[in-house]
Amino acid sequence: MCCLPTPCHRLPRLSEELEVDLWIKRDDLTGFAMGGNKGRKLEFLMAEAVAQGADAVVTCGSAQSNFVRQLGAACSVLGMECHAAVMALPYSAIHGRPAHRGSTMGGNVLLGEWLDVQLHLYPDDDWEVLYTHAETIALELEESGLIVYRIPVGGSSPLGAYAFVRATEELGESFDVVVTPCSSGSTHTGLAYGLEGPRVIGVACDPEPEILDDLRTLLEGLHALIGEHDRGRLRTRLPELEFRLEWAGEAYGVPSPEGMAALELLAQTEGIFLDPIYSAKAFAGLLAMIRSGEVGGRVLFWHTGGLPAVFAEA
Ligand SMILES: *Cc1c(COP(=O)(O)O)cnc(C)c1O
């Protein structure tokens, strides 16, 4: 479904301005259903769904989830029902509810309607509550006789992370540092596992330190999966995960001032768009680390896409 390999190219104007050798991996251009990082995960997840004979998939996320959009398109191709438990803006109760309201119109919601995604919209609440709603939907579908394939938020199962281990093989150049947005975690985890040379830094899009525990669990699951099915790619030691929280902003789904400044800088130097929720925050982190001298040499930014959600912000 994806158009791979995605381009990887230098950013000449920003490199000169920042006095580094800055490159970008264009996973905004994975092509399928308007691109983004989720397409890579779906190549593997949907193969597993097909192998299990699934009639329906169930996942969850925010109403403007990029994953739900691409999953809906994959379900169209494969003739499966697509169900997603969503909230305008799920949040982490222990960190409080953000004042910002997510949008349930336009953007990915509109594209989801065109794809006949069954969006089950619930009032905003904690992520744990959202997971429970998704499980209720899955059980109801099973009771009606369907075979259901469950996918965690953002496609972040070990198999989803494996897609990014494989993605690292597209890099022809070698880099000193790779920076990626990190939210549900399989992009960061897979890249960190797959890249033994460079320092891989995941910039959090949610200000929640507990996510690091989820990343470690995901990494162990990935290691076990590779040990079982792909021993040629097995690492002798698990990588340390470098997970940075400084640029996550106020909450998940809430744009940050630093992120918006980074988005405008990339647009105005290189003509490339970032999305405010994920890639802009990570790019803000990248810029800050370069400017402080913490990061230098040959640096790669992994662009994860996310543009369709911009059109819900109006
Ligand atoms: C989902 C998403 C991310 C985060 O990737 P994870 O693998 O969930 O950490 C980053 N950018 C965009 C645009 C996304 O849709």
pLDDT, tens only, 31-49: 999 999 999 999 999 999 9
Buried residues in 147-171 as b, exposed as e (16+ CB within 10 A): ebbbbbbbbbbbbbbbbbbbbbeeb
Separation of 41 CA from ligand 1 center, angstroms? 11
Q: What is the mean pLDDT of residues 116-138?
A: 98
Whether the ω angle into residue 5 lies within 30 degrees of 0, i.e. cis, is: yes
What type of residue is 113? E
- Catalytic (active-site) positions: 65
Closest approach atom of ligand 1 to CA 28 = 13
Question: Considering only CA atoms, which residue is closest to atom 1 of ligand 1?
Answer: 154
pLDDT, position 172: 87
Separation of 272 CA from ligand 1 center, angstroms? 18
pLDDT at 252 over 60: yes
Quote the distance between the C-alpha of residue 246 and its chain's center.
Answer: 18
Choice from 45, 187, 191, 215 to test ligand 1 binding pocket (greatest atom count within 8 A of CB): 187
- Strands across the sheet with 298-303, in order? 8-10, 21-26, 298-303, 177-182, 199-204, 242-244
Separation of 198 CA from ligand 1 center, angstroms? 21
pLDDT at 152 over 80: yes
Q: What is the mean pLDDT of residues 26-35?
A: 98
Q: What is the mean pLDDT of residues 281-298?
A: 98
Q: Give residues (CB < 6 A) around ligand 1.
A: 36-38, 66-67, 154, 156, 181-188, 275, 278-279, 304-306
Reference 138, options 54, 47, 48; nearest CA is 54
Q: What is the mean pLDDT of residues 60-66?
A: 98
In what helix (H) or strand (E) does residue 268 lie, and over which residues does it extend? helix 257-270
Residue 100: pLDDT band by 50, 70, 90 thresholds? confident
pLDDT, position 314: 56
Question: Considering only CA atoms, which residue is closest to atom 13 of ligand 1?
Answer: 306
Is the overall model pTM greater than 0.75, yes or no?
A: yes
Q: Secondary structure of the chain: what % helix, strand, coil (to 5)?
A: 45, 15, 35
Choice from 62, 278, 281 to test ligand 1 binding pocket (greatest atom count within 8 A of CB): 278
Residue 101: pLDDT band by 50, 70, 90 thresholds? confident
Closest approach atom of ligand 1 to CA 66 = 15
Average pLDDT in the chain: 97
Per-residue pLDDT tens digits for 162-216: 999 999 999 988 999 999 999 999 999 999 999 999 999 999 999 999 999 999 9
pLDDT, position 241: 97
Residue 313: pLDDT band by 50, 70, 90 thresholds? low
Closest approach atom of ligand 1 to CA 181 = 10
pLDDT, position 208: 95
Q: What is the mean pLDDT of residues 272-281?
A: 98
Choice from 304, 307, 310, 311 to test ligand 1 binding pocket (greatest atom count within 8 A of CB): 304
pLDDT at 136 over 80: yes
Question: Considering only CA atoms, which residue is closest to atom 8 of ligand 1?
Answer: 184
pLDDT, position 41: 98
* β-bridge pairing 21-26 and 8-10: antiparallel
Separation of 97 CA from ligand 1 center, angstroms? 21
pLDDT, position 184: 98
Separation of 287 CA from ligand 1 center, angstroms? 19
Separation of 143 CA from ligand 1 center, angstroms? 32
Q: What is the mean pLDDT of residues 286-292?
A: 98
pLDDT, position 205: 98
